Chains A and B, each alone.
Chain A
Amino acid sequence: MKKEDMIVRDNREIAQDIYEMVLEGNLVGEVERPGEFLHINTSRHSVPLLRRPISICNTDKQKRQLTILYRAEGQGTRLLSTYSTNDTVDVLGPLGNGFPVGDVSSGETVLLVGGGIGVPPLYDLATVLREQGATVITVLGFSNKNVVFYENHFQKLGDVYVSTIDGSFGYSGFVTDVIDQKKLSFDRLFACGPVPMLRALEDKYPNVKGSLSLEERMGCGIGVCLACVCHTQNDPDGSDYRKVCSDGPVFPWGEVVL
């Protein structure tokens, strides 16, 4: 983990309020697995005060560059969207534990399911899984056609199915509807997206091999402040917990309460 002023190489809107930012710096060399995240201080002043956790979408170690995708929605991410090329941004990272790609064998079929701004870490994941010889099927869910992104990127790595809740793009409905409709079969499932989506997947596939990545409000991002804790599933007295930032954000299927 490093704290570094990274250089902005690109920052552009790729869908409605969805930005793609390319950052350059030495901490790129420390990224180990897809699913790790950066903790970004969007302001040099005290407003907003806290960093923003944003997952890494793609890394290019030779160029010392990585890509993040974020939705400009709150104060911090709206500010981040105003950064220009060659600006510097105060970054802590890489943080958290990524997807257990080492568990995946060559020839396995892996289903990746992403929802909204939970999609970005799956891109790096799909890339690595392909390099390892796995077959990748991706199901991406968005609310409507204006916020669909990276469909073409994923298409280069395997079959892609896109759904929108309002039916304005791709299949109509939720990601689980698409999986049913297309009768998708797979050996392993990796998912990242809103909690209701993750919960629907766990209910549908209680015993599948896989992992999911959580989003949570964070303070420090390194396990100190205990802001982002969650309960575990096999814990009758409710005293056990995991920290999303440092134990996660990727957890084994069925480990934490959603």
Chain B
Amino acid sequence: MSRVNIDLPGLSMKNPIMPASGCFGFGEEIGKLYDLNELGAIALKATTPQPRYGNETPRVAETASGMLNAIGLQNPGLEKVITEQLSRFDTIETPLLANIAGTTMEDYEEVAEALSKTGKIGALELNISCPNVKEGGIAFGTDPQLAAELTKRVKAVSNIPVYVKLSPNVTDITVIAKAVERAGADGLSLINTLSGMKMDRNTGKPLLANSVGGLSGPAIKPIAIRMIHEVRHQTELPIIGMGGVSTLDDILDFIIAGADAVAVGTANFINPFVCLELSQALEQSLERQQINHLYDIRPKEVHLR
């Protein structure tokens, strides 16, 4: 047993670090830069039943210590993900967390059932929090009853653990967290991006073609930390924490706040090697401080699992 390995439902991880969904594609590009076996897990880009082109450009806008994106769940669709993308991981031991999305409950069921049957996915991540699609998605993430029903239905058709990715665009995130826990979720991912907007001073209109986008990057870290801390004290579920993680200190902060694993998102865009560098830095730091295991840095009351 190493200082950094962790065991979450469906995800046996050699370290707590994974790239966040949508910030790593399907591993094709970054897989050319380093060995993906070095990662704790890999969250794949959201998959929908049919291919989606996504939104028109501009799709990204920079903000203070952050960025807004409105990609719009662009992906090649379920069939091509299975036939063209998953084989890339046949020689890689790192467990996969497949992010699934749709506009109806049936969409989620279809993708969940098909992906769990491939035998190549460690766990599913229900994307009920994408702020960039007009229908579905976000509604499931802001209504506790809908979130619970969707969780139940996806659980019923899946033979692998199901994590629910929570939206921060709610008044009380613990209400949704508890609702999906009661509905049988195996874990939680939080937080997705915050809904935001940037104006174009030249045109007087929103800069993004989609008008609204999801805010990510270091700017949102304090919100993520607060929400993880709140959820940690309200549920027993494992938490994959994310939101502005880009340094070793960020990872430690998330673990202390109550995350069991940490996902790195926007930072991959600035430094494509960041997940690799952080996993090495974390292990070296614990060794230097002679801390036997990562979870030993947590205060006792957080140590729920």
Binding site for B on A (CB under 8 A): 1, 3, 41, 46-51, 75, 92, 216-220, 222-230, 238-239, 241, 246
Contact = CB atoms under 8 A, between A and B. Distances in A.
Contact of B60 (A47, A219, A223): A219
Contacts of B24: 224
A241 B74 CA distance: 10
A50 B67 contact: yes
A217 B53 contact: no
Interface in B119-150: none
B29 A246 contact: yes
A219 B68 CA distance: 10
B272 A222 contact: yes
B51 interface: yes
Contacts of B53: 238-239, 241
B218 A49 contact: yes
B25 A224 contact: yes
B25 A223 contact: yes
A222 B29 contact: yes
B210 to A, nearest CB: 12
B272 A51 contact: no
A246 B64 CA distance: 27
A222 B271 CA distance: 11
Interface string B41-82: 000000000010110011111111111010100100000000
Contacts of A238: 53
B217 interface: yes
A216 B246 CA distance: 25
A246 B66 CA distance: 23
- State the main secondary structure of chain B at its contact with A: loop
A222 B65 CA distance: 21
A47 B270 CA distance: 12
Given A219-B67, A219-B269, A227-B57, A46 B51 contact: no
Nearest to A76: B62
Contacts of A218: 60
A240 to B, nearest CB: 8
A224 B26 CA distance: 8
B266 interface: yes
A217 B57 contact: yes
Interface in B123-180: none
A200 B74 CA distance: 30
Contacts of B74: 226, 229, 241
B30 interface: yes
Contacts of A92: 272
B1 interface: no
Contacts of A48: 62
Interface in B280-305: none
A92 B268 CA distance: 12
Indicate the member of B23, B218, B272 with the most A CB atoms within 10 Å.
B272
Contacts of B270: 41, 49-51
Contacts of A219: 60, 67, 69, 269
Given A48-B62, A50-B67, A224 B54 contact: no
A224 B43 CA distance: 13
Given A49-B66, A216-B57, 10 more contacts: A49-B217, A50-B62, A75-B62, A217-B61, A220-B268, A224-B268, A225-B269, A226-B25, A227-B57, A229-B59
B162 to A, nearest CB: 26
Contacts of B61: 217
Contacts of B217: 46, 49
A218 B62 CA distance: 10
Contacts of B23: 224-225
A192 B69 CA distance: 27
B268 A227 contact: no
